[in-house]
Structures are given as structure tokens and as C-alpha cells.
């Protein structure tokens, strides 16, 4: 009997209802490797247009798995059973879709990503000929502001923050701000990790992220300056020096480590991410901007890009607040004590298999 038979519908609803009552962490993390591999194989079958093959593999999946319901909806959509596909996918909570995309992003084809984006994020398809937009995720003080200014001068796009205005450090994803910035398809910028919420929106909005990192200790020292400046209006004053450094380290170190680990993992498992370093950018801003543009799907015209770089460099003297060039320049890392460095490096153990030497050459 064809698995697409209507009698499957009531079974879908019963399984989905049971799934929605399960603890949020149960489905993907506790899936066996064979189950995870089978889910990926189903997605690859859909990529090839082999619906029958996908159905055969789907029949062997265990019940009660959120991924199963998402896959079932995608199979129905591929079989042109649009109404049933929407009914199934609309019933899956967004948190499960986010985790599904984070787990299987490398195997989700464009039609499936577009469908999930339309249903769960209200993402409109990209009009033919429209700009794909640029998305830059960076360590604070990594030169990303200057790079973005070059891109703005070249493309004429506006720069939009992906972070909530209520998040002074700019490190917590806010779905509303994130989607507004990405959905505008201009220059979206943020200091966010490649967590499920952020990564899902990049995939479903069909963006190709750029990740810019920097030596973690120099980043912390640069960030420490914020505690003595005007950027964070605390009701108290943090004095410059060792106290500010310790506060910055305790406040931001884990986020930097997690951010680097998450984007490194994404880059290893997908060609969607371009990774750059602060040092690479400073050596050749023109080359860095050209790589970002090409990666984002925007044509690079050498002469026009050279003029954009020249125009942006002039802002260093005339309007430095728009570029903040070199404000996060090299710092004396010795002011961070050995004990604090050891504590920060201990965080690397949370992410086994990640090479942290790009942000900590001495680790």
C-alpha cells in the first residue's frame, strides 16, 4: 500500500500530538546514529528527486521523533501534496524545526528550506534578480565595522543589527531583530553564535554567513574598554585596569569560545560559511571585502571596490565613529594573568575536536 495513502493522516496527527508532549531535549540528541543517518539519507533522496527511495527509508524511522514529522511534511511537499504537507509542518513547534535545521542543514535542499521558511518564519521567496544580502557574524573588535563600511560603500546597502537593542553586549539572539535584519537582505551584522535559532534563519533565508574571529585575549582586552566608556550605561562605574579586564573576561569569555566553536563546526559541515580573521582583513581590506562579496553572491568589480575602500579609509579621519578603525588594535596580552588565561582555556574542553589555535595560537 502506498505510504501516501490518506489513512496515514490520522496516524500523523496522533504521533505529532505525542511528540509535542515530550521534553524539548529528547528527540535529536538522544537519537541513535543509525536514525540520524537515515534522516540525512531521506533528505539526500529528496535532493535527488527520488521520492520512492525517500519513502522506503522513511518507513523504517521510529515513532515519536520530531524529525520524522518534518521529513514526512517535506516528502508530501515533494510529492505535490501541498495541503497535507502544510498541515503536518504547521503542527510542528518551531523549536523542533530549529533543531532539525541545525542538525541536518547540510542535506536540506532549497525547496525544502524555502517551504520551512515560509511556514515557520513567514519568509518570502527571494525575488528573481534581488540581492541575496550579506550576513557578518564577528567577534567584537575584530575589524568587522570597517569591513561592513567598505561593503556599504560598494553596495549602497544599509547596515542592520541582528541583536536586540536591549542586549548591550549584542550576544543574545532575538528572533524579531534577527529576522528583520536578515529578511531585509542588506548588510546584517551581529556578534551571535551559530546556535540553532541563528543558524536556522541563515539557512531558511538562504544566506551565506561570514564569520570573523580574532585572538580571544586581544578581543577581551578591547571589550574591557567598554566598561570605562560610554557604551554601557551601568548605574555604577567599573574602573579601568585589572578590574575591568576581569569583568570583561568573566562576562564574555564563554561567549567568544562558544561562538568560535559553533561557527567552526558549521564551517566544517557546510560550504555555506566563509571564515575570516581580523589579521587577514587588516593585511588586505580590499581582498577581504572581495571574498565576502563573492561568497554572498554579489558581483565584484575591482575598480568600484577600490574606490569603496578608498572612500571608507577617508572616514578614518573625517568620521571615525562610522568605522571605528583600529580602535581595537593590538593589545599587551600579558596584562591578563596566567590564572585567568587558564580559566578561559579550560572552556575549550567543553567543545572537543575544535581547534582553537586560530584565536589562541599558544593553547
How far is residue 354's CA from residue 217's CA, in Å, rounded to a whole number?
A: 18
Per-residue pLDDT at 317 = 75
Quick: pLDDT tens for 277-335.
Answer: 998 888 999 999 999 999 999 999 999 999 999 998 888 777 666 666 554 445 677 78
Per-residue pLDDT at 227 = 62
Give the bridge partners for 161, in sequence order.
Answer: 189
Choice among 93-107, 172-186, 298-312 with the minimum mean pLDDT? 172-186
In this predicted model, which residue has the larger pLDDT, 125 or 146?
146
Q: Which grid coordinates belong to 73?
A: 511534511
* Cα 110 versus chain centre, distance: 17
Per-residue pLDDT at 170 = 63
Statement: residue 39 has pLDDT above 80: yes
- Class of the 134-350 domain? alpha beta
Q: Could you tell me the pTM of the whole model?
A: 0.82
Which is nearest to 55 in space by CA: 36, 34, 41, 37?
41
For the four alpha carbons of 66, 24, 87 and 119, in that order, the dihedral sign comes to negative
Each domain of the chain, given as residue ranges in start order, spans 10-120, 134-350
Q: Residue 163: phi, psi to the nearest 5?
A: -100, 150
Statement: residue 233 has pLDDT above 80: no
Size of the chain, expressed as the number of residues it contains: 363
How far is residue 74's CA from residue 47's CA, in Å, rounded to a whole number?
A: 11
What DSSP letter does each residue of 28-53 carry, written as one string? TTTS-HHHHHHHHHHHHHHHTT-HHH
Amino acid at each position: 500500500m502506498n505510504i501516501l495513502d490518506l489513512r496515514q493522516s490520522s496516524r500523523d496527527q496522533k504521533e505529532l500530538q505525542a511528540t509535542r508532549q515530550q521534553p524539548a531535549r529528547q528527540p535529536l540528541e538522544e537519537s541513535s546514529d543509525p536514525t540520524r543517518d537515515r534522516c540525512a539519507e531521506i533528505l539526500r533522496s529528496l535532493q535527488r528527486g527520488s521520492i520512492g527511495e525517500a519513502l522506503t527509508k522513511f518507513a523504517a524511522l521510529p515513532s515519536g521523533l520530531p524529525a520524522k514529522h518534518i521529513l514526512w511534511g517535506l516528502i508530501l511537499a515533494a510529492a505535490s501534496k501541498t495541503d497535507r504537507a502544510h498541515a503536518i509542518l504547521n503542527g510542528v513547534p518551531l523549536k523542533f524545526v530549529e533543531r532539525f535545521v541545525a542538525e541536518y542543514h547540510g542535506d536540506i535542499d532549497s525547496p525544502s528550506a524555502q517551504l520551512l521558511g515560509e511556514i515557520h518564519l513567514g519568509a518570502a521567496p527571494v525575488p528573481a534578480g534581488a540581492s541575496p544580502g550579506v550576513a557578518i557574524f564577528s567577534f567584537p573588535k575584530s575589524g568587522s565595522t570597517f569591513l561592513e563600511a567598505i561593503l556599504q560603500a560598494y553596495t549602497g546597502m544599509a547596515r542592520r543589527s541582528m541583536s536586540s537593542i536591549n542586549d548591550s553586549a549584542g550576544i543574545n539572539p532575538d528572533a524579531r531583530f534577527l529576522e528583520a535584519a536578515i529578511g531585509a537582505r542588506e548588510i546584517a551584522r551581529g556578534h551571535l553564535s551559530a546556535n540553532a535559532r541563528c543558524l536556522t534563519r541563515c539557512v531558511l533565508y538562504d544566506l551565506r554567513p561570514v564569520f570573523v574571529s580574532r585572538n580571544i585575549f586581544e578581543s577581551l582586552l578591547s571589550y574591557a574598554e567598554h566598561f570605562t566608556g560610554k557604551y554601557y550605561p551601568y548605574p555604577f562605574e567599573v574602573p579601568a585596569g585589572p578590574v575591568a579586564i576581569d569583568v570583561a573576561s568573566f562576562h564574555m569569555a564563554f561567549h567568544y569560545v562558544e561562538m568560535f566553536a559553533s561557527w567552526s563546526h558549521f564551517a566544517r559541515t557546510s560550504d555555506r560559511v566563509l571564515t575570516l580573521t581580523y589579521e587577514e582583513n587588516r593585511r588586505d581590506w580590499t581582498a577581504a571585502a572581495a571574498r565576502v562579496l563573492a561568497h554572498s553572491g554579489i558581483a565584484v568589480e575591482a575598480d568600484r571596490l577600490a574606490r569603496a575602500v578608498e572612500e571608507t579609509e577617508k572616514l578614518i579621519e573625517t568620521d571615525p565613529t562610522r568605522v571605528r578603525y583600529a580602535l581595537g588594535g593590538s593589545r599587551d596580552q600579558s596584562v591578563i594573568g596566567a590564572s585567568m588565561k587558564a580559566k578561559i582555556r579550560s572552556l575549550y574542553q567543553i567543545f572537543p575536536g575544535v581547534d582553537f589555535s586560530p584565536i589562541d595560537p599558544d593553547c
